[in-house]
Chain A
Amino acid sequence: MNKNDHDGIWVFAEQRNAELHEVTLELLGKARGLAGQNQGKVTAIILGQGIKPLAQTLLNYGADSVLVADNPVLDPYRLIPYSLVFEKLIKEYHPEILLMGATFMGVELAPRVAARVRTGLSAHCVDLKLDKDGKLLQVVPGWGGGVIATIACPDHRPQMATVMPGTMKPLSPEERKGEIKEIEINLPDKDLGPKVLEIKREKAEGLPLEKAEVVVAGGWGVGSREDWKQVEELAGVLGGAVGTTRPPVDEGWAEEGQMIGQSGKTVRPKLYMGIGISGVMHHVVGMDQSEHIITINSDANAEIFETSDVIVVEDFRKILPKLIQKIRERVER
């Protein structure tokens, strides 16, 4: 699509079971900030069934208006019906920018929509800016995060980006007024792609990693399931969450949802502690925005030390039991 006569910033309001994904609110916060610079309007797009009540939430978190497609064919999420609705809306309303979360859903949907309307898309953005002409600059990590690229989409519209959850801040909600508009959906009843047989989800347990003030993360160097308990205990006494790199997930010490980095979560806690972590780029890109970073590794050449404020070159087994005890004494005092 060509760029003339496009305006407005769109945010895809991702939901499952009428529960908004956190990243939606983060995107609205960012979109609001960008709209402040270019005097644009922020529109949230929500698709599903029985989701009208969420529209007010979207206004409260920064949308100026909400387009609601409430239709049984849009529940649960399926790639092809969602792509067709986006194509129709984009062709009708000509948004300048369209943002989605880099979630399981967004990562599947955004490229399909971009290809359908023949525009550019950047993936897993960690920052978004406007240049002096109002073009969207999309900041993305590549090569496991070792390279930071800035991508632009000069001649095609909308300018599309998926954004890493946890990298942008939602606004504090306040009661706001705005237009809530319902959209007619007329989809064909065939050729809508795979049939959904079953959806199974477990409630997330404990403190979500992205919200924790303290994250204690362990890596391959922790060595065993037995010693992994020390990592969990330290997180426990600090009131924090446990994070991990890839190997402990493969070993079964930790869950995939705890993984930090390019293929996991991005965290920005007040304190990050890394135990037995070597510091490959894939992990570092998910934690290097932490306010304070303390790392313990017996290998004096561990790369993680390049991204640390406080470095301890020592076997963590000599440090953690005493540290846990000291902190516990202090907290209970």
Chain B
Amino acid sequence: MNRIIVCMKPVPDPQHWNKVSMDHETQTLKREGIPTIINPLDKHALEAALSIRDAHGGEVLLLSMAPPFVTPTLREGLAMGADRAILLSDPVFAGSDTLATAHILAAGCRWIGEFDLVLCGNMTIDGSTAQVGSQLAELLDLPSVMHVIDLHRKEDHLLRITQKIEHGYVRLEAELPLVISVRKELNKPRYTPFTGILAAESKEINMLSNEELHIDTGLIGLEGSPTKMAGLELRRFKREKERVEGSPEEIVQVLVDKIHRYGII
């Protein structure tokens, strides 16, 4: 394989999600002060790409659509071992839904030119739609497989893939090129070596705007997205929050009475 593209999304670190607040006027989320990390499943996608490259040669490219401030997060992917990164960044991309995002990533793939495989995480932790991989494949007119838990090369242009389904799995044989979305069972992402961090400093991050990509603006950004936000609220829970105290025996008695009152026993 000569070239593998890994789609990577910088996401807000979930350790800090309790700091998310809402701007009621604009109906948007305020995420100031929340650090950015590589979407965890994308690290598994990158690991898969790196191990294929290490065994068979070729190059691994990171592809990301995000604002320019995520560059340090892309550097982390380069430190893990990717060869170079392409950051698709333009104010006209802001507010893109999954289909619009897929249009932008597809344009990025076409800009790259030839490639053999696109790897994505099955979903991101912030939006969690799990839609972009399949949509990107459709727009590139390539086959795609989601929920991938095992992957190996059979011949030069053939992959053996195991896809998880309810209570089991499906084994598939696929021809390259294609788009694959992976689950965490696939592998264990490698630790970043110190030499990798040093090497990443000199690796190339190519920033592209829509001037280079020429995507019809009717297809991207807030305006071009078929889905629209009709409302947004932070989730609030209303529960009784009655604290039961006392000796273990006393607590158990209260619990048994409650469970009885609920009609369970």
A residues within 8 Å of B by Cβ?
16, 21, 76, 79-80, 83, 103-105, 107-112, 114-116, 118-124, 131, 137, 141-156, 193-204, 213-214, 238-239, 257, 262-263, 270-271, 280-281, 284-285, 288, 291-294, 305-314, 318-319, 322-323, 326-327, 330-331
Beta-carbon contact of B143 and A194 below 8 Å: yes
Residue pairs across A and B with Cβ atoms less than 8 A apart, 30 shown, are A104-B165, A104-B166, A105-B165, A111-B138, A112-B134, A112-B137, A114-B99, A115-B102, A115-B135, A116-B138, A120-B99, A123-B130, A142-B127, A143-B126, A150-B229, A150-B231, A150-B232, A152-B227, A193-B144, A196-B170, A197-B173, A214-B264, A238-B264, A270-B262, A281-B235, A294-B258, A309-B239, A314-B248, A322-B249, A326-B256
Beta-carbon contact of A123 and B128 below 8 Å: yes
Distance A262 CA – B235 CA, assembled complex (angstroms): 14
Chain B residues within 8 Å of A288, by CB = 237
Beta-carbon contact of A124 and B226 below 8 Å: no
Given contacts A114-B99, A257-B167, contact A330 B237 (CB under 8 A): no
Closest to A145 in B: B235
Asked if B186 is at the interface (CB within 8 A of a chain A CB), the reply is: no
Chain B residues within 8 Å of A309, by CB = 239-242
Beta-carbon contact of B128 and A327 below 8 Å: no
Beta-carbon contact of A194 and B229 below 8 Å: no
Our pick among A144, A198, A201, A213 for the contact of B14 (Cβ within 8 Å) is: A144
Chain B residues within 8 Å of A143, by CB = 17, 20, 29, 126
Distance A194 CA – B264 CA, assembled complex (angstroms): 49
Binary interface profile of B, 88-99, with partner A (CB < 8 Å = 1, else 0)? 000000000111
Distance A319 CA – B250 CA, assembled complex (angstroms): 10
Asked if B152 is at the interface (CB within 8 A of a chain A CB), the reply is: no
Distance A297 CA – B178 CA, assembled complex (angstroms): 47
Chain A residues within 8 Å of B135, by CB = 111-112, 114-115
Beta-carbon contact of A147 and B234 below 8 Å: yes
Beta-carbon contact of A310 and B255 below 8 Å: yes
Binary interface profile of B, 13-40, with partner A (CB < 8 Å = 1, else 0)? 0100110100000000100000000000
Given contacts A115-B134, A137-B230, contact A310 B258 (CB under 8 A): yes
Distance A198 CA – B253 CA, assembled complex (angstroms): 53
Distance A121 CA – B235 CA, assembled complex (angstroms): 22
CB proximity of B175 to chain A, nearest CB, Å: 8
Distance A273 CA – B232 CA, assembled complex (angstroms): 30
Beta-carbon contact of A310 and B240 below 8 Å: yes
Most chain B CB within a 10 A radius of its CB, from A122, A123, A131, A214: A123
Asked if B53 is at the interface (CB within 8 A of a chain A CB), the reply is: no
Beta-carbon contact of A307 and B265 below 8 Å: no
Beta-carbon contact of B229 and A197 below 8 Å: no
In the complex, besides A21-B166, A121-B227, A280-B14, 7 extra interface pairs with C-beta distance below 8 angstroms are: A16-B165, A111-B135, A194-B143, A194-B175, A197-B171, A306-B239, A319-B248
Beta-carbon contact of A311 and B144 below 8 Å: no
Distance A16 CA – B251 CA, assembled complex (angstroms): 47
Beta-carbon contact of A311 and B235 below 8 Å: no
Asked if B214 is at the interface (CB within 8 A of a chain A CB), the reply is: no
Beta-carbon contact of B237 and A120 below 8 Å: no
Distance A284 CA – B202 CA, assembled complex (angstroms): 43
CB proximity of A13 to chain B, nearest CB, Å: 16
CB proximity of A88 to chain B, nearest CB, Å: 15
Closest to A156 in B: B226
Binary interface profile of B, 122-158, with partner A (CB < 8 Å = 1, else 0)? 0101111111111101110001111100000000000
Our pick among A118, A153, A294, A311 for the contact of B228 (Cβ within 8 Å) is: A153
Distance A83 CA – B227 CA, assembled complex (angstroms): 20
CB proximity of A129 to chain B, nearest CB, Å: 10
CB proximity of B217 to chain A, nearest CB, Å: 15
Interface residues of B in 211-237 (CB under 8 A from A): 225-235, 237
CB proximity of A125 to chain B, nearest CB, Å: 11
